[in-house]
Amino acid sequence: MVDVKVPSVGESISEVTIASWLKKDGDIVKLDEAICSIESDKATLEISAPKAGKLKILVKEGETVAIGTKVAEVDETASAGASAPAAAAPAPAQEAPKAAAAPASTGGDKNYPSPAASKILAEKGVDASSVQGSGKDGRITKADAMGAQAAPAGATASDSSLKSLAHQTMASSFSREIRREKMTGLRKTIASRLVAAKNTTAMLTTFNEVDMSAVMELRKKYKDSFKDKHGVGLGFMSFFTKAACAALKQYPAVNGMIDGNEIVFHNYADVGVAVSTPRGLVVPVIRNAESMGMAAIESKIIELATRARDGKITIEEMQNGTFTITNGGIFGSMLSTPILNAPQSAILGLHNIVERPVAVNGQVVIRPIMYLALSYDHRIIDGRESVSFLKAVKEMIEDPARLLLDI
């Protein structure tokens, strides 16, 4: 037997919660195959099988254990056929069936989506049971979820059954039942950090609006050639990251933080990008974003966001950022007041792009407008600096040539 123990996941973390078992007790696992998802107060990580063999689970889902605790064992002597008895030969049938039977599930992960796949399926309104997984033992991967489509109305049910389903759904929507669910370690940490940020900082938010016409036109013109050359799409986040880095050079207090009786200024920009995951909001950090090109920023954002949603982001990748950008626009937010990501002193909030009537040279025209919000710690950042910072970001987005000319 080979022990499976909880690994160290950070200097300040002494215990974790068994979030879920990705394999069942008695399953045959491969070397380095993910078998368990653990959750600390800062991140969700996976434990891999140290050897190939038969899995014996010792700790149930939801239990909290100390670092180094043995949570399972792997029997190296077990063979691949040990997990299930051989099926008996079927009796000869007198009449062959008209259609082939559906293949049986080959493992415990059938229709079990990864965290990233689960989020995509939820957004699309697709039931996981209707998706054929292509991963190990039929597990639904992110690619499977992206290609899945919700069944059209009437495709699997008659009009009468649809009406019955609608009636049941309406009735269940108004049920007076309640459901209690234990807060995860990550959710508890998010809650305490947000309350601490509100209680220990003099937080204020300033707003502005930005005409996205120039960036959208530039993106439309070069997105194909950009992707052909760099292998990554040209999104809006790289424009805002570059604009924010340039503005941080002009207004260093926005990139600073308070440490006791001192103000710490950073000559670099480690920009955190808020990512929504199935288990809560995390903020992976792009190191030295000020020295990176657009393609490098886009690639890094995709890499970090994917790993965060898959629960594979590390503690180190979420620590020591100097400034944060959060994009509520992807969920349809028109305007918000983002909360500081302490100990940072400022956070830039992006929102959805909406065609609005605006006055240009005395004429009313329709332009794609985004509202920007900068929440900041008034103890270190004055109103003049915060407003000027946001205005600088606005000007660079409305005239992207400024990003190239550094003006």
Chain segment 152-176, per-residue pLDDT in tens: 544 444 555 555 555 555 555 667 8
Q: Which pTM does this prediction carry?
A: 0.64
Q: Report d(CA 107, CA 182) in Å as an integer.
A: 29
Say what the pLDDT of residue 141 is. 75
Select which of 32, 127, 224, 382 is catalytic.
Answer: 382
Q: Is 382 tagged catalytic? A: yes
Residue 117, class by beta-carbon neighbours within 10 Å (0-12 exposed, 13-18 middle, 19+ buried)?
Answer: buried
Please answer whether residues 345 and 254 qualify as being in contact, where contact means their C-beta atoms are separated by less than 8 angstroms.
yes
Please answer whether residues 283 and 341 qualify as being in contact, where contact means their C-beta atoms are separated by less than 8 angstroms.
yes
Q: Report d(CA 143, CA 165) in Å as an integer.
A: 30
Please state which architecture CATH assigns to domain 2-79. Answer: Beta Barrel (2.40)
Tell me the C-alpha to C-alpha distance, in Å, between residue 406 and each of 84, 302, 403: 66, 26, 5
Please state which architecture CATH assigns to domain 108-146. Answer: Irregular (4.10)
Over residues 367-391, mean pLDDT: 96
What is the pLDDT of the chain when averaged over all its residues?
82
46-74: pLDDT as tens digits: 888 988 999 999 998 888 888 889 999 99
Over residues 112-133, mean pLDDT: 72
Say what the pLDDT of residue 86 is. 43
Over residues 295-315, mean pLDDT: 88
**Residue 2 pLDDT > 60:** yes
Select which of 159, 224, 378, 399 is catalytic.
Answer: 378
Tell me the C-alpha to C-alpha distance, in Å, between residue 208 and each of 205, 229, 372, 374, 375: 10, 34, 5, 9, 12
What's the CATH class of domain 202-405?
alpha beta
Q: Is 377 tagged catalytic? A: no
Q: Name the percent of the chain lying above pLDDT 70.
A: 81
Say what the pLDDT of residue 161 is. 58
* Confidence tier at 376 by pLDDT (50, 70, 90): very high
**Residue 41 pLDDT > 70:** no
In this predicted model, which residue has the larger pLDDT, 58 or 129? 58
Say what the pLDDT of residue 105 is. 38
246-296: pLDDT as tens digits: 999 999 999 999 999 999 999 999 999 998 887 777 899 999 999 999 999
Domain extents for the chain?
Answer: 2-79, 108-146, 202-405
* Confidence tier at 310 by pLDDT (50, 70, 90): confident
Q: Name the percent of the chain lying above pLDDT 90.
A: 45
